[in-house]
Amino acid sequence: MEKTFLMVKPDGVQRNLIGEIVARFEKKGFQLVGAKLMSIPKELAEEHYGEHKERPFFGELVDFITSGPVFAMVWQGENVIATARQMMGSTNPKDAAPGTIRGDFGLTVGKNVIHGSDAPTSAEREIGLFFKDTGLVEYSKLVNEWVY
Ligand code: IDP
């Protein structure tokens, strides 16, 4: 089953949005297989956002993501990578449709509430980075018979 890495960013944690965000993915039918509240060490932040190293906002991005705790999660389900991106909405909340997480809860690109892997390769890489030590929880849910 496909898996993706999602993370409530420090602004989402401070604004008490963890429960709201978890509820959306649960209600959709996806299954939580890993979760932890954590502070991101600077080195992990730089590696996670490595593709943006040369961008002018890189320093700001690393400072922000390490500025307070995040809620890191792994969710699984059919087509979860692309569907979670749709549920998150566009990177810049001003372009994100109402009904999406960024559309409903964000105003600026720097504080856009949630991160989600954008492709199978990044999902695998990010799950490895954040859940290497803790691992994931493999389990089956009877409700899946009514989802699939
Ligand atoms: P994504 O989070 O939707 O995948 P990316 O392009 O991978 O978007 O950018 C990573 C993060 O960097 C975004 O979520 C956003 O918070 C931040 N970011 C992107 N562009 C800018 C910018 O122009 N200024 C400040 N932050 C930015």
The ipTM value here is: 0.97
In CATH, what number is assigned to the domain containing residue 33? 3.30.70.141
Tell me the average pLDDT across 29-54: 98
Does any domain span residue 83? no
Residue at 64: amino acid letter: F
Protein residue closest via CA to atom 26 of ligand 1: 110
Separation of alpha carbons 117 and 92, rounded Å: 16
| Closest by Cα among 112, 91, 129 to 9 | 112
Choose one of 112, 113, 118, 122 to mutate for the ligand 1 pocket test, by most ligand atoms within 8 angstroms of C-beta: 112
Give 32 Cα–ligand 1 centroid separation in angstroms: 25
Can you give the residue range of the structural domain that contains 17? 3-76+114-138
Decide if 87 is inside a domain. Answer: no
Strand partners, 37: 71
Q: For ligand 1, atom 25, name the residue with the nearest CA.
A: 110
Instruction: Choose among 2, 1, 31, 5: nearest CA to 131.
Output: 5
Residues linked to residue 70 through DSSP beta bridges, in sequence order: 38
Q: List residues with catalytic annotation.
A: 115
pLDDT for 24-35, tens place per residue?
999 999 999 999
**Ligand 1 binding residues, C-beta < 6 A:** 57, 60-61, 91, 109-110, 112, 115, 118
- CA of 91 from ligand 1 middle (Å) equals 6
Binding residue per annotation — 102?
yes
Flag whether 24 is in a domain.
yes
**Can you give the pLDDT at residue 70?**
99
If you measure from the C-alpha of residue 61 to the centroid of ligand 1, how many angstroms do you get, rounded to a whole number? 8
Q: Is residue 118 part of a domain?
A: yes
Most distant pair of Cα atoms in the chain: their distance: 48
Single pTM value for the model: 0.97
Asked whether residue 8 is assigned to any structural domain, the reply reads: yes
Which residue, chain included where needed, has tokens 């001003």?
94
Q: How far apart are CA 106 and CA 70, in angstroms?
A: 16
| Residue 90 maps to a domain | no
Provide the number of structural domains found in the chain: 1
pLDDT in tens, 73-118: 999 999 999 999 999 999 999 999 999 999 999 999 999 999 999 9
